[in-house]
Each structure stands twice: as structure tokens, then as C-alpha cells.
Chains A and B, each alone.
Chain A
Amino acid sequence: MDLTRSPADEAFRAEARAWLRAHVPSVPLPSLETEEGFAAHRAWEAELAADRWSVVNWPAAYGGRDAGLARWLIFEEEYHAAGAPGRVGQNGVNLLAPTLFDHGTQEQRARVLPPMASGEVVWAQAWSEPEAGSDLASLTSRAVRTDGGWLLRGQKTWSSRAAFADRAFGLFRSEPGTAKPHQGLTYLMFDLRAPGVTVRPIGRLDGKPAFAELFLDDVFVPDEDVVGEPGQGWRIAMSTAGNERGLTLRSPGRFLASAERLRDLWEARGRPAAARDRVADALIGARAYELFTWASASRFLDGGSLGPESSLNKVFWSEYDIGLHETALELLGEEGEFADTDWSEGYVFSLAGPIYAGTNEIQRDIVAERLLGLPRGRR
């Protein structure tokens, strides 16, 4: 067992740290869930991309550095420790891109990935529907065959970033009446500004339009924007879901930085005894998450994969993130209720964690049935 980094990795760390020190905005950007903030975050992605820091673990051909998983983790540590902005492109980078690497065509990768890396095209996800949430396979939005492509019909909802994004990806029913609900689904990419698309932003808990409803009325999608084989969408999407709840969406660097900020806040407030245990537990949890991730990364590098273990991860980080922010709000005392503190945006964001990317109830079912081997039962 070894936790040391190679000199080459440490040189990479130093290079990232120096770049971030020179470029991270000294004043935080406006919330990325507002029109103004979205634009500012898009410009930040372009700045990162200009020096190849936006997608370090991607191949150089698409704007990355071929840095690999270990250096991606190092980059994330530095990124969050530097207090750098949130990533407006994360739906595309963390969910669609891994899917294209595994299931897309060469043409799709060449066309889609470089503008994703630069923030020129920002992606939204389009999974849920009004009647298909945790039971995603029951979705009814249709993809109907037409000359040279498909026509999308139906309604999607809780589409993160869709209020200001450019394009979206999701699952559509291309073969109605299959024996099982997860059969006959197709994974498609579409333009949010195409004729027939109506985007209705939805205010999240604090009113900011962080997601949207999508109404699709015979929206044309060319064949080149089908990912993988038509009808195979479920299998393809599940490989994406594993990424979302697993390693990529919540890097340990983020929690290490948040836990240190929490310790700073606790010390600045005179180390109140009432919060002491929770501050300690935030530091302990961040270290546990870091080491858990390194163990997972080591298994990857040995050729292993992330299976149902990603559900352990998702339950842990989502509960952890809320607990950490609740502790911060309590340390703020009277200011804890204000919406403009350093912690308010993160708190509101954290509350969604146990719901998206598969609710924690679904994740616990997966842990119980696939990792512990308990019998399936009614949900």
C-alpha cells in the first residue's frame, strides 16, 4: 500500500497550482444558475480550455492532457483548494463525454467533444419525465423514425442547466410495446434551440432557474446524433449513471477544500464546543472519501471497474455534503439564514444531492440487493 505521488505527478500539481493562482478570479463569479453567472462561468471554461486545464484527463486530440485518473484527482484537489468557480459544463463533461468515449463514433467524438471542452457548447441532461423519476425506464417520450433521423415527442423535466444550455442528451422510447420497459429506448443528443423545443425554466428551492421542463413537439434529430445502436439506450445510459454517482461528479478535492473552509470558520468563530464534533467529523469524512477514491482509482488502474460500488459513494457524499453545510450555517449563527453568505449557495445545492443521479433510496436498494445479496422486494 502506497500513498506517495511520483515526482512527475508532483510536478503536474505544481504546474496546476501555479496556473490556478494566476487565473482564478479574485472575486467569486455570480451564481451559475443565473443568466449572468452562466455566461461568466462559460467564459471561465474558455479560459481554462485555452491552456488545456478544462478536461485534463481527456485525450489531447479533444482538448485534454491525457493526464489519467491519478492526475485528474490531483488537479481537482488543487482546483477546489484554490477556490476556483463551479463547472458549468459538468453535465456534458462527466455524463455525456464518458458515454461518447465508450459508445460514440469517432465522428461524434471529433464533433462534440472539443466545443464541450471549451464551454462553447454547454450540455443539459434530459432523463426524468413527469411520470418517470426513480422508475426512469417507464419513460414515455417518443423518438419516431423519419427520413434521415428521428422526431422527438413528449416532455422531459428536472433538466439541470437546461434554462441556459445549448444542447441536451437523454433517453427516448423508439420501440413502443416492448416486453420490458427498459427495452426499445434510444440515447439521443438534440439542440435545445431546434424548432419544436420549448424550454420552461423551473426555479429551484431558492428560486434560481437551475433546471427546466422541456416540451418536445416533433423535434428533428439527425441519425448522426444517436449514441450507440437505436434500442440500446438503457444499457448505454446506465454506464453514464455509474459515472454520475461515482467518481467523476464529486471529486474528493471538493470535500477536502470544503472541510478545511469549515475548520477555518469554526476557528474564526472562537472554536465553539457545540460544533466541535461535527467539524471534526467533516475533516474525518473528507479524508475517508479521499482514501476511498484512491482505493477505487487504484482498482481502475489495475483494470477493474466501478460497479454497484458507485452507490456506496453516492449515498456517502450526498449525505456528507448536506451535513457539512448544515454545520457551517449553524456556525454562522444569525447570518445562517441569509442567502448571500459564502455557504448559502452550496447549502441549497447540497440539498439536491440525495435526490438526483438516482435517489439515495434507489442507491440503498442497489447496495442491499447487489452488494449484500438481499432478496428483491417491492420498492
Chain B
Amino acid sequence: MRFLLDAEQRAFAASLDAMLTAADTPAVVRAWARGERAAGRALWARVAGAGVFALAAPEAYEGVGPLPVELAVAFVELGRHVVPGPLVETVAATVLLAGLDDPGPAKRLLPALVSGEAMATVTPPGSSYALDGDAATTRLSLSGSGLRLCPGHGPVRPSLDPARRPTPLSPGGELLATDAPVARAVLWARLAVAAQALGVGLALLDRTVAYVRQRTQFGVPVGSFQAVKHRLADAKVALEFARPLVFGAAVTLDPADVAAAKVMACEAAYRAARTALQSHGAIGYTAEYDLSLWLTRARALRSAWGSPDACRETVLSGGRRR
């Protein structure tokens, strides 16, 4: 039993962090929110180049997976830098395609997802919207009749997070399979959302700590006031206890563990967002200030790929310890 990231995993996180820091992701996010895709596509290619989309794909389809711990490592960094685009959906599509009985669709569609040439989206079970359906090139829909490759998409419905662009998918299209590994795809998607939320929360806390150290009022940094410190300490406690749940879920891939990780990481990120907003004061409540990119992402991730309510149900129906 050694429940720590190894040196290689830590180096992977550090290299992604460095790459994304240099990429000026806030500008990319803002362009993506306006429907301008060039910068987002370029960043997507670099994320793929770092191997992120290979982590859920088996070697038979030019992947290196399944490597769920490395996937969690990567999504923490993607969240930390609020990278836009259907990242989670591409993971879900990868798991869906790789798990079909007929290897045909995976052979045809998966290598392009792994390499980053294609970008996938999926309608989660029970949802009518697929994230970034206008930008995705591989659009999958799940319905009672099976897994379809959709020919097009409907209009974008604005999200509270402007960088998320949900669209309905057009009906019809090619039927890829009548039976798809939906539960497994949801599991991986939830894990990716949980890790992404953890990264969003960690970034919110870092930015807020930096802000309250330099912002002065009454002649001292506002971060020296106990009322401010204690809110930030509580945000830190919540994030540091969500972190082992996320990585534990990646190790076991047990549905109750993954659901628990999603509940707690999304809650910790959202609490961190509320604390970040309050600690910044009015400047934090502006669209212009970059903090808004993380604030709105934290809210949106809560309901993505399973509401807190649905995830708690999965926890309660999970196995007993003994």
C-alpha cells in the first residue's frame, strides 16, 4: 500500500502545468466563449500532444490506457487552467467506442480522438445537450436504440459558464451499436469532472490567497484578518480532503468511490468559488477580471455528468465495508 503519486506522475502534472501556464489559457477561454475556435483548437492539439487523450484509450486504438490515475492527474491540471472544450466528453466517447463489441467504429473514429485531430462530444444519459456540439467533429448520442453518430447540432444554449456551449444534437445519423458501455463511460466522465473540479478549486484558492496578500485596507493586507483567513482555511480543508477521494476513485474505479469524489470535489470547488468571490469583493464580480472564468466553471461542473443528488444516490447504493 503506497497511496501517493509516483515521480513520473508528478512530473506529468508539472509538465502539463508548465505547458498550460505558457499557453495563456484565459485568453483562449474568452475566445472559445465567443465561438472563435482557432486558439482553442491549437490548445487542444497541444493537450493531445501531451498524451492526455491517449489515457482512456487502449493500445489497440493507439492509446496507452486505460490509465485512470494519470487521467485524474491530467484533469486536475486542465481544471487548474480552465482549459475549454469537450474534454470530459472526449474521454467518455473514447470509453464508449473502445468498449463496443464491434471494433469497427473504434478503429475508424478513435485514433483521431487520441491524436487530437478530432474532438468528440456526447449527450450524457438523461440529457438533451452535448457540450460544444458546434465545435466537436465526432458527435455521439445515446438513446434507447443505442449509440449514434450524429450528423449535426442545434443552436448553442448559453451556459452560466460562457466557455461551455451546450447544443442539442440532430436526430438520426449512423447507428454505431445497439448496446454501448454507458455505465463505464459515465464512470470515467465523472472521474474526469471530479478531477477537473478539484483543479478549478485549487486554482481559485491560489488566486485568492495571492489577492488577499497584496490587497490592503485599513493599512494592512486583508489576508491578515481572521474573518478572511478562516474562510480560506475552510476552503483549503475541503479541497485537501477531496483530493485523496479523487485519486482513490481513480485507483478503484468503484462507482460509489467515483460518485463520492464527484460530490466532494465539486462541492469543495464551489465553496472555494464562493470564498474567492467574497474575498475579492467587487472586482471578483466582474466578467472582465479573469477570476470569473474559474468562478463560473466551478458552478457548471456541479451538474455535469451526474448531479450531486444522483451521485449521492450512487454512494448510498454502494457496497458495505463488511
Interface residues of A (CB under 8 A from B): 1-6, 9, 70, 81, 256, 260, 263, 276-277, 279-281, 283-285, 287-289, 291-292, 294-295, 297-299, 301-302, 309, 312, 315-316, 361, 363-365, 367-369, 371-379
Contacts and interface: CB of A to CB of B under 8 A. Distances in A.
Interface string B52-96: 000000000000000001000000000000000000000000000
Contacts of B234: 315, 364
A363 B234 CA distance: 10
B229 interface: yes
B212 interface: yes
Given A287-B245, A316-B237, A365-B233, 6 more contacts: A291-B248, A312-B241, A363-B233, A368-B229, A372-B236, A375-B220
A276 B250 CA distance: 25
Contacts of A299: 4
Nearest to A376: B224
Which residue, of B6, B308, B316, has the highest number of chain A Cβ atoms within 10 A? B316
A284 B240 contact: no
Contacts of B34: none
Nearest to B322: A81
A379 B226 contact: yes
B320 interface: yes
A1 B2 contact: yes
Nearest to B5: A1
Contacts of A379: 226
A3 B229 contact: no
Contacts of A289: 241
Contacts of A364: 229-230, 233-234
Contacts of A294: 1, 3, 244
Contacts of B312: 276-277, 280-281, 284
B201 interface: no
Contact of B315 (A280, A292, A295, A371): A280
Contact of B316 (A280, A287, A297, A368): A280
Nearest to A301: B2
Contacts, number: 153
Contacts of A361: 226, 230
Nearest to A377: B224
A291 B244 contact: yes
B2 A276 contact: no
B242 interface: yes
Given A280-B263, A283-B315, A377 B69 contact: no
B107 interface: no
B237 to A, nearest CB: 5
A315 B237 CA distance: 8
Nearest to A368: B229
B147 interface: no
B218 to A, nearest CB: 11
A279 B209 CA distance: 33
Interface in B212-227: 212-213, 220-221, 223-226
Contact of B220 (A256, A283, A373, A377): A377
Contacts of A279: 316
B191 to A, nearest CB: 13
Nearest to A277: B312
B293 interface: no
B251 interface: yes
Contact of A287 (B224, B229, B248, B251): B248
B232 A1 contact: no
B251 A3 contact: yes
A328 to B, nearest CB: 16
B188 interface: no
Interface string B153-193: 00000000000000000000000000000000000000000
Contacts of B260: 283-284, 287-288
10 contacts: A1-B4, A280-B315, A294-B244, A301-B2, A316-B237, A361-B230, A365-B229, A374-B213, A375-B223, A375-B224
A276 B251 CA distance: 27
Given A374-B209, A375-B223, A369 B229 contact: yes
B134 interface: no
B198 interface: no
Interface string B258-275: 001001100000000000
Contact of A374 (B212, B240, B242, B244): B212
Nearest to B262: A284
A81 B213 contact: no
Contact of B241 (A292, A372, A375): A292
B44 interface: no
A298 B226 contact: no
Nearest to A2: B2
A312 B251 contact: no
Contacts of A371: 236
A301 B1 CA distance: 10
